[in-house]
Amino acid sequence: MLGSWGALATLSPGAHLVYTRTSLAAVYPQWAPLNNAVLLDPPSEASASEAAAELASIYAAAGVPTWALWLPGPGTEFDSADVVSRVDGMVRDTTTLVMTLDLENGLPTDSAVRRTTVWAAILAGDEPVAEHKLPAPDTHSDIQAWALVSNGFAVTSALTYTSGCDVGIYAVGTAPDWQRRGLARRLMLHVLADAHRRGARTASLQSTGVGESLYRSLGFHSVGRYEEWVASDSVRSP
């Protein structure tokens, strides 16, 4: 995961990684969803609160108003107990499961899958992109971007980053009007098959509740989770 943050930072102006005494922060002034930090020290109320105080200054200096702190935990279910109950200046937000898979030979590829740029892939996960408008893949990035084409439009996408023998899978998404058609499953199988062909022997990802059933059906199992906390002053009342 940390390697992918660094690779993505090369694609966004002003983006950089910052190591503090207790954490690693990904700072993306022009890419709001990626402003996340992970606690590197063993999680406790004290270590998380110290990290939050350090991070608040870092993100404020970069002009980033909204960011999240991820606390690694041993739980393997969404309803597992939290590792801490309080972080000063922050409120509890979402949880993602860390899931892994041992790759095997023989997974199917799909002729409808295309390589493209990171930006085109991210867009295709939100809204259809005409196939003829898909740009050629990035040639100077360690991130691979994928899109699956259906009826002339790229409508499902994912990003991958390989570190050693593990392929990390990120930002899997399907345009809303194209969901529940098995497209994400087809794309995942192709991406996993390609990764195995290139030498990867395991795959890893973070799953929200929405994607958990798909990933479990592909053989992924949870090995831990990240508990996300967000700055309390960035939370707006309804």
pLDDT in tens, 67-100: 999 999 999 999 999 999 999 999 999 999 999 9
Confidence (pLDDT) at 234? 58
Our CA dihedral for 91, 74, 28, 215, rounded to 10 degrees, sits at: -110
CB 153 within 8 A of CB 130: yes
Q: Is the pTM of this model over 0.75?
A: yes
Residues of the chain with pLDDT under 50: 235-238
Which contiguous run of DSSP H or E holds residue 58? Answer: helix 45-61
CB 23 within 8 A of CB 204: no
Nearest to 198 by CA among 158, 171, 164, 157: 164
Residue 235 has what DSSP assignment? P
Topology annotation, domain 104-200: Aminopeptidase (3.40.630)
Domain spans of the chain, in order of start = 2-97+224-234, 104-200
